[in-house]
Structure 1
Amino acid sequence: MTFAVLARKRRRQLSPPSPPIAPKRASQMIVPPLPMTPPDPDADPIANINPSIPPMDTVVHVIATEKAALANLERIYTTDTLSRENMERAVERVARTINIGGKLVICGVGKSGKIGEKLVATMNSFGIQSCFLHPTEALHGDLGMIRLNDTLLFITFSGKTSELLVLLPHLPPTLPVIAITSHMQPSSCALLSDSDIRDTILLPAPVHEREEVSFGLPAPTTSTTVALALGDALALAIARKLHTVPGRGPAEVFKGFHPGGAIGAAFASSSSPSPSVTPSLSSVSSTATSLSSATSNAGPTQANCLNPLPQSSHQKLISSLATPYSSIPIISYHTVPYSEIRIADALAAAVRCPEAAFWVLVTPSHLLTPRVLRRLAKTRDPGVKFGDFESESHDLFRKNWIHVPKSSTIADVRQILNGIDSTSRGREPTEKSARHTRNRVVALMNDKSEDDLFGFVEEREIPQ
């Protein structure tokens, strides 16, 4: 009995505690001084690693550092021949992509991806069709958004982002690739290593010093600043390359795509017609001499046809019926032959620009009205090119547009159209002339120049 009790007591005894482990003393790291950028001779370099540094000193240091990074980027694109040539190639490549109905696909990860999303918004506001592709989502189905006539823009500071390297083999080998990266030579950039089989363009965006040197940690700061600045520069250069038609420059395109917010309100107030302007038929006649002379040459019987229209419903400006020229997509600025453009290209342009209400300019001189475009969609195969069938049946050439000032009233324009009809009544009608009469389009001008267009109106939309 005693033995059993003693045995239980021995089993209850706790094992002696482990000897205490003396904590290891952390070795003190010697952090190198963090100089101001540009150098500040009056500043204490050790203060940069002091956690008690005043906040405003940090703010000024960051701003000065990023300013220096942008100055370095400006120097590169001012003096480096390869960088300048590559930027020109990139502008030409994207402009050609847009002109043939393609789009710019921008791809990046992390902070570079955020920069890419911002550039997509900027490009689209300039009429440069763009979209963002996340490389991981691309491998799970989003590769379907890429077409063979697109161009891809990678944004990666390192040039070797693993997600982008995994995506690259799954892209069509004929797809042009542009890369905004820190590398100055394509040979040092892993993403451009297959440049022998792929059309690649390097856009260098290095920083003047590493971010861990500038700020004590490798947080994307100066690298994202230079990438964003270079992307903005690329966007504006492409817009100026694309939009060269008078009255349809980058400013007008941006205005058409930005009707909302403070920017849209400012545009609306600046374009409101002045109440002091009193349009008259004489002003219409002075800028459309050929049309007014046709009216003045009409005989007494014909002149009676030009009776004044009811003032209550016809004194509105013709511009109130117009579709703005700045909102109408132009498929090709003569870089692609008119005869090579397909009906599908016109339909795609109309879908991308809903504010144009199905008006499309195949070229700056070849117009498709909504009615004609809808008829083509119903009666023709989308793959048919405009050069494959009779052009007079589907488009309106610039020479056939009826030009009037945008300050004209609806009554003024209706009288001009009636005058043209009255002068042609004595002529033998042809199928071509009858078709042209049915499809007549009034082109509104901002001033006396026929090249400074404001918008278009189909005759059938103008009240009798």
Structure 2
Amino acid sequence: MELQAIDTFPPSIMAPKPPDSLPPWPLTPPDPPPPTTTTTNDVSSVITAMHVISTERAALTHLERLYQTDPRAQQGLARSVDLIVRSVRDAGKLVVCGVGKSGKIGRKIEATMNSLGIHSAFLHPTEALHGDLGLVRPNDTILLISFSGRSPELISLLPHLPATVPVIALTSHTDPSTCPLLSLHGQSGMGVLLPSPIHEDEEVSLGVSAPTSSTTVALCLGDALAIAIARKLHTTPGRGPADIFRSHHPGGAIGAAAAVATGTPLTTPSSCVSSTTFDSPSSSISLPWEDLSGSTSIPYFTLQSPPEHRRIPRDKLISLNQIPTVSASVSDSPSDVRLLDLLLTAIQHPDAKSWVFLSPSQLIPPRRVRSLLSRHTDVDIRVLDAVAKDGQPLAVHQDSWLWVKDSIPLAAAQKLILESQNKPDRISIIAVSKDLTLSGCIGVMEAEDLCDG
């Protein structure tokens, strides 16, 4: 019976609700006995390899059991199928996104989807923030792959996605409320969790934290998702998933087998086909602009205020009321604020444009937030420890802001900034105020942005 992608499952297929946590699951099986057909020198290598296979088999068994018994996991899978099918039918696509080994798994999932006639594309999160974000269209669905569920590259991408694009998170988390990748979409119904946990930590299983069981589980779940989508998407007789798959594989062994079964001529490699070069008579082509050689160019003018009349552009200012204050998620102490807390605070308040208060009087500019994230991949590190390690300042006290009136000429403000560049107290934040007071502050901006403007 095919699962229907609805909010709740019919009673006939709904498994009993499991307890808050799954019962203990056997850890990786013990090392198998040494094979009898190998030499003594080969035994240890074969045992190691078999142990890895046993470990990954146990991880897949654990995944299967989760989706057999957990209604929330079942609903997440069915909802994911529904969203992707809807996107493809609405001329959209599935966008797969991941970094590192998860990115490699994502590329394989994308290839499998396309081979089954499910329009898909891979998006590298870093390249997305440098222009490739144009790949994502309003009718698309995005699949984010991250075992930890808190890859900074993926989290940084979230606030820039179109509001109409659902987000599916394939991650080790089993509760959507704990997954940072769903921090912006979990409450809106536009975020879906595809849990892919493993039965035990890879370092415990194999003595090294290299992605092994985690990537195997992610790959398996991606394959399961692809087949389920294909069966729901391709329902026309004669154009089912198998037919679509064969039509997309005219070459190789798959194409040869399909050709034999259907009597279709085999595809011949282009290198085996002789080509004939035809000589074409030369012709003189008159380009349209050749007739304009004698024309006179027409000058154009742009109206612009004299430099002395130009003011600081208010559209670049961020109101202090829009800027959130970061807080530690593990305690009430400001000293326990982690890099993850800072990152989530920034993306959960898109109107603040990545400005974050560390305290009521200390403000972190966006460039320093991005710089800190680029230097540290461990999002659990405390911000204070990261700053101490870098030896670079992060937050700027309001006494160190450049306070200017909103009537100051733009050129005068730029001059003040340039004069401070070679001084120890270099200006990084400009506060524009009606009367040079905090209560009269209109907004703040980074000094670099004012000089660029």
| TM-score, scaled relative to structure 2 | 0.50
More helix by share: 1
| Structure ranking higher on relative contact order (CA contacts 8 Å, 6+ apart) | 1
